[in-house]
Amino acid sequence: MRIVGRSGWLFVIASSLALGACGDDGGAGADGGSPPLAEATARTWVVPDAAAPLADDVRAAFLDGELYFNAHTEANPAGEIRGQLDAAGTLRFATLDGAQETPTVATEAVGAGVLSVDEETGEVRGFFVSRGLSDVTMAHVHLAARGTPGPVIVPMVGGPDTWVVPDDAAPLTREQIDAFLAGDLYFNAHTEANPAGEIRGQLDRVGTPRLTALDGAQEVPAVETEAFGAGFLAVDEATGQVSGFLVTSELEPTVAHVHRAARGVAGGVILPLAGGGSLWVVADDAEPLAEDLRAAFTNGELYYNAHTEANPAGEIRGQLDVPGVARLTALDGAQETPPVATEAFGAGILTVEEGTGRARGFLLTDRLVAPTAAHVHRAARGTAGGIVVPLAP
């Protein structure tokens, strides 16, 4: 079942149903019988563009793995799913499409994701998002070079549009770590129509990542809108290879792009994005950025822009001007204190600039019934702690 969550969220995933809140009639259904089932929805949560920088001690806690994402619900107000941001690692990025499958698959579905691997321990974190797939059956990380099929090495959980490396995934072996560093791992999403894989994304893109929160306030002139979004862009400073994606909520963009201009200034398109609806991705075959555009990226002078019929010049914008150290996490009920029994899950990424404490990040959750809020909290794994960054909306 495909549903729309609160206030018409557009980043929406087919979700399970669970017993939940009652209607205005005190709990009876339309026929006076059983109470209606509450819908479990998918949600996007972002560190706001105007979030206060982290203090020195909180920055140190981030580097020590003592921050975590927490998503709260009416049933579990202290938190239903949690994801500890304690896995450091090297990042690789991918765009998923049918052209990378072997043999190629004709499909309009696309996706994008990121994988983090600790080069010493093999600890692995990651996720990908997709749109346009029907009857998804499973997703994995596989081992093989681009253009070659290979075996599964990491089963992923979730679905059907967001897939996550679970928190308790086994560490990669030395051979698998070396394959990761060589660009020989890939994401693969399988469907009933294409059981060997409908879309694949080779994890052979490297680069410096920038995360951003999109809103109407960053547009020039500012746009009044409840819409928002989140995204990341990674650029290989040596080759100009670029990868990334953005997700949007509460709007239906007509197109989306990467533009060039400093914050507070409107600029031209440098990179059209593929996709549609609530997910827009940098195409796998996107042209590398020229040297002047790489310099603009380093200087924080690129931005995402999502355009709509009502605001053809752009309804929400996100400046890519905050560098930082990145951490990825998988959210589940087992990490809560005490643990929570739930089918809900999530994935998140947070970056923190070491010098200034500026933070950027976002969280994708699914199968939560009646979510109320999400935050970044401070505490070591296995311990509950206070809020340090409220997430929007």
Using one digit for the tens of pLDDT, what is the confidence trace for 323-351? 999 999 999 999 999 999 999 999 999 99
- What pLDDT, in 10s, does the model give residues 10-39? 332 333 323 333 333 333 343 444 444 467
Cα–Cα distance measured from residue 91 to residue 55, given in angstroms and rounded to the nearest whole number: 26
For residue 115, tell me if it sits in a domain.
Answer: yes
> For residue 82, what are the β-bridge partners?
70, 332
The tokens for 305 are 């822009």
For residue 259, tell me if it sits in a domain.
Answer: no
For residue 392, tell me if it sits in a domain.
Answer: no
For residue 190, tell me if it sits in a domain.
Answer: yes
Determine the 3-state secondary structure of 108 from DSSP: coil
For residue 170, tell me if it sits in a domain.
Answer: yes
Given a cut of 60, is residue 5 above it in pLDDT? Answer: no
Cα–Cα distance measured from residue 369 to residue 51, given in angstroms and rounded to the nearest whole number: 27
For residue 195, tell me if it sits in a domain.
Answer: yes
Given a cut of 50, is residue 7 above it in pLDDT? Answer: no
- The mean of the pLDDT values for the chain is 91
Provide the sign of the torsion angle of the four alpha carbons 379, 384, 388, 393, taken in this order: positive
Q: What is the pLDDT of residue 33?
A: 46
Contact call for residues 326 and 209 (beta carbons, < 8 A): yes
The predicted model scores a pTM of: 0.90
Total domains, the chain: 1
- What pLDDT, in 10s, does the model give residues 354-392? 999 999 999 999 999 999 999 999 999 999 999 999 999
- What pLDDT, in 10s, does the model give residues 38-53? 678 899 999 999 999 9
Q: What is the pLDDT of residue 38?
A: 64
- Position with higher pLDDT, 5 vs 59: 59
Question: Can you tell me the mean pLDDT for 201-215?
Answer: 97
For residue 103, tell me if it sits in a domain.
Answer: yes
- What pLDDT, in 10s, does the model give residues 273-320? 999 999 999 999 999 999 999 999 999 999 999 999 999 999 999 999
Per-residue DSSP letter, 215: B
Q: φ, ψ for residue 274 (rounded to 5)?
A: -100, 165
Which domain range does residue 141 map to?
94-202
